């Protein structure tokens, strides 16, 4: 079975290249009365971005939510960090910043 047959593009999110708005099929679009569960390909031809009014052609497929961002061929590089989801990357970054702050504050206890 090929890799393309396993993927489900139905749940893919689409991002507006003009403003960064992300259309998620699970949520739909309340501003234009698009119900949840409506795929991006099923949106009306005259549908526009609810933030900047860009056309559907201004959107690019960014894949399903909860997956690692970036090109699939690049996920093997970067000491494994490229395989982390955006949420995991946020925890790693802000956790490291909090730890660095605690170490910095602990220097006052050396006196």
Q: Is the pTM of this model over 0.85?
A: no
According to DSSP, the residues that pair with 22 across neighbouring strands are 15
- The CA distance from 74 to 36, in Å, is 32
Which CATH fold topology does 9-66 show? Rubrerythrin, domain 2 (2.20.28)
pLDDT digits (tens, 9 = 90+) for 49-100: 999 999 999 998 887 776 655 556 666 676 666 677 777 888 999 999 999 9
Q: Give the whole-number percent of the chain exceeding pLDDT 90.
A: 21
Q: Can you give the residue ranges of every domain in the chain?
A: 9-66, 68-110
According to DSSP, the residues that pair with 61 across neighbouring strands are 14
Q: Going along 11-93, which residue ranges are E strands?
A: 13-16, 22-23, 59-63
pLDDT band at 26 (very low <50, low <70, confident <90, very high): confident
């Amino acid at each position: 079975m090929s890799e393309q047959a396993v993927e489900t593009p139905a749940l893919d999110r689409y991002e507006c290249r003009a403003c960064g708005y992300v259309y998620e099929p699970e949520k739909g679009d309340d501003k234009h009365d698009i119900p949840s569960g409506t795929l991006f390909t099923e949106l009306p031809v005259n549908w526009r971005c609810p933030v900047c009014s860009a056309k559907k052609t201004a959107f690019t497929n960014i894949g399903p939510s909860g997956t690692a961002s970036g090109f699939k061929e690049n996920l093997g590089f970067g000491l494994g960090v490229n395989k982390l989801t955006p949420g995991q990357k946020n925890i790693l970054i802000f956790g490291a910043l909090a730890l660095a702050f605690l170490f910095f504050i602990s220097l006052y206890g050396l006196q």
